[in-house]
C-alpha cells in the first residue's frame, strides 16, 4: 500500500460528516441526548478511521474505543488526535444503544458535539492533500 491513501480517507470522512450532521441536527430536539451523543461518537470514530486509512494502516480494527484508534495512529507515524475528546466520546459508543442510566444531559450532548467537531477537524486537516 502507498504511504498515504487520501481516497479511502475521504470516504471515511464522508461517513463521519453524515454522523456529525445528524448529531448537530438532533441537538435541537429535547430528549434526544443519547442519540446525539451516539452520533457524535460515531462521527469521531469514523474520522479517526479515515485518518488511519490515510496513514495506510492495513487492518483498521473494528473497535469503538477511540483511544485505541488514536494510539494506532501514533504507532503508524501519525500525530495524536485530541485525547480528551476521544476519551469523552468513547463512553457513548455502546451505552446509547440500550435503555438504562445514566442518561446524558443537554450539556453532555453539546460537549459531545464539540468534541466530535474537534476530532473531525483534526482528521480533515491531517488528511488534506496539498497540490
Residue ranges of domains in the chain: 6-126
Taken in order 126, 25, 14, 52, the sign of the CA dihedral is positive
CB-CB neighbours of 6 under 10 Å: 15
Mean pLDDT of the region 51-63:
94
What's the whole-number average pLDDT of the chain? 91
Name the nearest CA neighbour of 104 among 19, 26, 15, 13: 26
Q: Which residue has the higher pLDDT, 114 or 2?
A: 114
Please check the confidence at residue 2 and state whether its pLDDT lies above 80: no
Please check the confidence at residue 129 and state whether its pLDDT lies above 70: no
- Superfamily covering domain 6-126: Nucleotidyltransferases  domain 2 (1.20.120.330)
The pTM of the full predicted model, rounded to 2 decimals, is: 0.92
Please check the confidence at residue 1 and state whether its pLDDT lies above 60: no
Give me the phi and psi of 5, to 5 degrees please: -130, 80
Please check the confidence at residue 72 and state whether its pLDDT lies above 50: yes
Amino acid at each position: 500500500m502507498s504511504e498515504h491513501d487520501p481516497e479511502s480517507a475521504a470516504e471515511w470522512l464522508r461517513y463521519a460528516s453524515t454522523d456529525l450532521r445528524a448529531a448537530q441536527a438532533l441537538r435541537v430536539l429535547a430528549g434526544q441526548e443519547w442519540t446525539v451523543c451516539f452520533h457524535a461518537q460515531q462521527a469521531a470514530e469514523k474520522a479517526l478511521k479515515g485518518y488511519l486509512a490515510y496513514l495506510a494502516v492495513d487492518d483498521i480494527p473494528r473497535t469503538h474505543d477511540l483511544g485505541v484508534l488514536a494510539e494506532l495512529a501514533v504507532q503508524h507515524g501519525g500525530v495524536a488526535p485530541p485525547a480528551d475528546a476521544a476519551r469523552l466520546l468513547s463512553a457513548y459508543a455502546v451505552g446509547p444503544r440500550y435503555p438504562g442510566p445514566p442518561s446524558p444531559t443537554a450539556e453532555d450532548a453539546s460537549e459531545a458535539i464539540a468534541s466530535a467537531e474537534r476530532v473531525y477537524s483534526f482528521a480533515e486537516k491531517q488528511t488534506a492533500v496539498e497540490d
